[in-house]
Structure 1
Amino acid sequence: MIPTTTDQLIRCSKIILMAFISLFGLLVMYSNFTDYASNYEYVGHILSMDTTRDNQNLSYRAITSPMLHHRIYWFIITLEVIYTAFCLLGTYHLFRNINASCEVFHEAKKFSIVGLLIAIFVYYICLQVIGVEWFNMDESQTWNAKDWARHIVDFILPLLIYVAIRIER
C-alpha cells in the first residue's frame, strides 16, 4: 500500500518505526549470542564495581560471583529476546491490520506496547537506574554505557507514546 492520506501515512510510520526498534533488538541479540564473552566481561565489571572509585560506603553493593554475573547477564539477554519478539510480533500485527478500522488497528498495538515497555525496563531500569545508581557504572572510564542506554530510551519512550496514542482514523 502506498500511503495516499495522512492517516495512512501515520499508520505506515508506526509500522516502520516498530520495524526499526525490532531491527535494533535483533542486532543486540546477535551481538550477545555471537560475542558473549565481551558482553559478559562488561556485565562482570559493572556488577563487580572493580573499575569505579574505591568507596567503602558503596563497595558492599558489588556482586563478585562469576556465577551470578552469568545469571544476571542471561536474565538481560532473555529480556532482550522477549522485547524483540514482542516488537516483531507487534510490527507484524500492525502491518496485518494496516487497512483495518481504527478500532482494530488500535487493538493491534498491544504487542508493540508490551515490547516497548520491556525494552524500557532493560535500558532504563536495568542499565540507567540499577547500573548507574546502584553499581556506579557512570564512574567507570571503560565500562560505562550510561549515555548509550540513555540514547536508546530517548528513542523508545517517544516511540511508545507515538504508537500508543490513537491519532489515526
Structure 2
Amino acid sequence: MIARIAKILLTACAGLLGLVTGLGNIFDYGTNFEVLRHVVSMDTTHADAALMSRAILSDTLQRLFYAGIIATELAYGALCLYGALRLFGARKGDAARFEAAKQWAIGGLALGFALYFFGFMIIGGEWFQMWRSIDWNFQQPAFRFIGSLGLILLFVAQPEPPRG
C-alpha cells in the first residue's frame, strides 16, 4: 500500500509542477518568453550562417511556440492530477484495477517528459543550438524536469504485484 500511496503522491506532485509552471508562464509571461525569444532567434549562439537559417525571427511564430509550451505544461499537469485522482480511487482495489487506473498518470508523465526532452533538449538544445549560448542555455533546468518526470514515470509504470 505504501508504494501505491507514493505513486499517487508523486503523480500529484508532477501534476502540480505542470500546472504551476504553465500558470507561471501565463502570469509572468515576459520572463520565460524572453528565454524562448533568444533561443529560437539564435541571437547569442554565434553559429555559422548555415545554422542561422534555422532561426525564427517572427514575433508571431515565437509567441505560438511559447503558447504551445504553456498549453503542453497545463495539459500534462491536468493529466497527472486526473491520473492521481484515478489512482487514489483505485488504491484499495486489486492489481488489475490499479494498473488500469495508471493510464492517465502515465500519459501525463510521458507528455511532460516529451515536452522537456523533445522541446528543450532536441529542438531548443540541438536544432536552435541553445548549448552554444552562455546567457540563454536552459538545458540544465530542462534536464531537472526530464529527470524528475522520467523517474516518476518509471516508478508509476512498474507493474503492481498481486495482493496477497
What's the TM-score bracket when you normalise by the shorter of the two chains? over 0.9
Matching residue of 1:11? 4
Matching residue of 1:41? 34
Is the counterpart of residue 149 in structure 1 residue 142 in structure 2? yes
- 2:42–2:55 contact (8 Å) kept in structure 1: yes
**Displacement of 1:125 after TM fit?**
0.2
**Matched letter for residue 65 of structure 1:** S
Matching residue of 1:165? 158
Structure 2: tracts of 5 or more residues without a match = none
Q: TM-score, normalised by structure 2?
A: 0.95
Is the counterpart of residue 110 in structure 1 residue 103 in structure 2? yes
Select which of 112, 118, 142 maps to 1:125: 118
- Cα deviation, 1:72-101, whole Å, max 9, x if unaligned, reads 110111111111110010011011111011
Is the counterpart of residue 63 in structure 1 residue 67 in structure 2? no
Q: What's the RMSD between the two structures over aligned residues?
A: 1.1
- 2:37–2:62 contact (8 Å) kept in structure 1: yes
Matching residue of 1:5? none
**Displacement of 1:141 after TM fit?**
1.4
Determine what percentage of the aligned residue pairs are the same residue. Answer: 35
Is the counterpart of residue 50 in structure 1 residue 37 in structure 2? no
Q: Distance in 2 between matches of 1:157 and 1:108?
A: 19
- 1:87–1:116 contact (8 Å) kept in structure 2: yes
Structure 1: 4+ residue segments shifted above 4 A:
none
Q: How many residues align?
A: 162
Is the counterpart of residue 84 in structure 1 residue 77 in structure 2? yes
Q: Distance in 2 between matches of 1:155 and 1:79?
A: 17
- Cα deviation, 1:135-155, whole Å, max 9, x if unaligned, reads 011111111110111111111
- 1:87–1:115 contact (8 Å) kept in structure 2: yes
